Structure 1
């Protein structure tokens, strides 16, 4: 049974998320490296105030994902494949050995700065539940205009789609969606319009910065949630990382692909369990598991039992 580690994106962050990681030497080493590079104590990275910042939210999510993956590897739970949603793709790339954690921290800091500078206020993302793409897309097209932009952004599940754009446009789409039978339309804790053309310029600036980074071929299968396919060439992965902020997320398709390629033990890095809940309908023959606030020995024991069945 193949192990797939998934890494969540923005919206899952919470104060104290780094403190809640397992008390393990592998985790401590990652946190120490983050402190040294970012020049800030870990205890000050995931405070409520810091997590109002797109920059620090992304840095904390990267650090949390890499720490958990290295912790599992230190306990002989090694992934066969990785996949990350949005900023989670950077933790996936580090875990697969494509780029170093140090380089990822620097790139993610730049990524967050570019995104925040592009849209400092008045924009964001909203999750629409209960409508599929065929029903939601016309509502988005009806509202979208140069003055009130809004786009389909994340395809997390067939009837769980996130839109991105101006707050006014998203509110209008939300009202239309509810009138059309949606179950809910909830703003997400993301303060920039990710995964849509509004971030094209920022994405290309990050792509330029990627050119100077040393890359390696992935040691594990790397599934791109932007392309919903496996990438093996490190330069393609670098472009995927840089451009994913302006590219829709095809998470549901990516999980279907991973399942078709033999993944069955799906382990979600902290924080949260959003990706685990999305995986459950797909991996009905496997074992989706969220690491967040779960005892490390319980996680390791469960995974070792299932891995023994290979």
Structure 2
């Protein structure tokens, strides 16, 4: 029996997520770092929940904690982990799950990553926008010459774009023109062409050149960090397998300022022919992306289950 594990990124964390999750060392470290007694109650405040410095730490801590608790149950059930990957900040959890560094170290790195990205974004407001319903080639053509780039490629007609916000952002998209090269202007132009655009609840333009200084600083931090070669197959945001600690370092820093190729990641995992795919994190975004791209391989999120036993029972059914 086998399962591929994917770890969620930002945007879908919620107070009731992962209802079976127990408090452990990673959760305790996160609560202390964020100075919250009850992280679920803290998530009820949307402004708090979507602040970069809170979200990245919380998402990483809950993910590595969930992995630790699921891993013990997977071993008892003789379920093999075929591969690991993480979406955006989820790559930290994937590397921790692969044994590159400890869960507690992953939480610490998430805090540093968020701080560096916030610092890079302090020089100008940026954002992200999900775009569906328009082919990738058409989106690429419209972006040419603007300061907006593709941050994440999820599929042939599903991307996330990111870039600077217009000075006229508060006045709505009608106040800007495409010539200003802002995310607001590009979003309005895409909507005119029939695309569905959804502004994401993030405060920095992750995975775009606006985060270059953060990526460079994080690379320096990782260069001095003790890391081990992955003990389980883990794939970076370009869909490449990380065989060594150095490859893991490079992937973790590079993705901060370059396009995440989640479409390629999914294809690489599918090529390994797992019996099913389990998303770990809040919501079901990655499971739904998987179902659209590789419907022959079942996918669900651990967030859909009330108990660890329920997660294991589903995986076992997929393997019969």
| Inter-partner Cα distance in structure 2 for 1:195 and 1:74 | 33
- 2:252 paired residue number: 241
Work out which of the residue numbers 81, 87, 90 in structure 1 matches 2:89.
87
- 2:141 paired residue number: 138
Moved more, 281-290 or 97-106: 281-290
Aligned residues of 2:2 and 2:80 also touching (Cα < 8 A): no
Mapped pair 1:5 → 2:5:
yes
| Inter-partner Cα distance in structure 2 for 1:23 and 1:13 | 14
Aligned residues of 1:3 and 1:80 also touching (Cα < 8 A): yes
| Inter-partner Cα distance in structure 1 for 2:54 and 2:271 | 35
TM-score in terms of structure 1 length = 0.89
Work out which of the residue numbers 261, 266, 272 in structure 1 matches 2:272.
261
CA-CA distance at 1:42 after TM superposition: 4.3
Q: Secondary structure at the match of 2:278?
A: strand
Q: Secondary structure at the match of 2:299?
A: strand
Aligned residues of 2:5 and 2:279 also touching (Cα < 8 A): yes
- CA gap of 1:274–1:237, structure 2 versus 1, over 3 A, is same
Aligned residues of 2:84 and 2:233 also touching (Cα < 8 A): yes
CA-CA distance at 1:47 after TM superposition: 4.6
| Inter-partner Cα distance in structure 1 for 2:110 and 2:186 | 31
- 1:221 paired residue number: 233
Q: Secondary structure at the match of 2:118?
A: helix
- Superposed CA RMSD: 2.0
Once the two structures are superposed, the pairs formed by residues 1-310 of structure 1 within 5 Å of their partners are 1-14=1-14, 16-17=15-16, 20-24=18-22, 27-36=23-32, 40-43=36-39, 46-48=43-45, 49-76=47-74, 77-120=79-122, 122-142=125-145, 144=146, 149-168=147-166, 169-182=182-195, 184-225=196-237, 227-296=238-307, 297-307=309-319, 309=320
| Inter-partner Cα distance in structure 2 for 1:114 and 1:57 | 14
- For structure 1, the residue ranges without an aligned partner over 5 or more in a row are none
| Inter-partner Cα distance in structure 2 for 1:157 and 1:292 | 23
Q: Secondary structure at the match of 1:230?
A: coil
Count residues in correspondence.
Answer: 297
Aligned residues of 1:37 and 1:102 also touching (Cα < 8 A): no
Aligned residues of 2:19 and 2:306 also touching (Cα < 8 A): no
TM-score in terms of structure 2 length = 0.86
| Inter-partner Cα distance in structure 1 for 2:63 and 2:137 | 34
CA-CA distance at 1:285 after TM superposition: 2.4
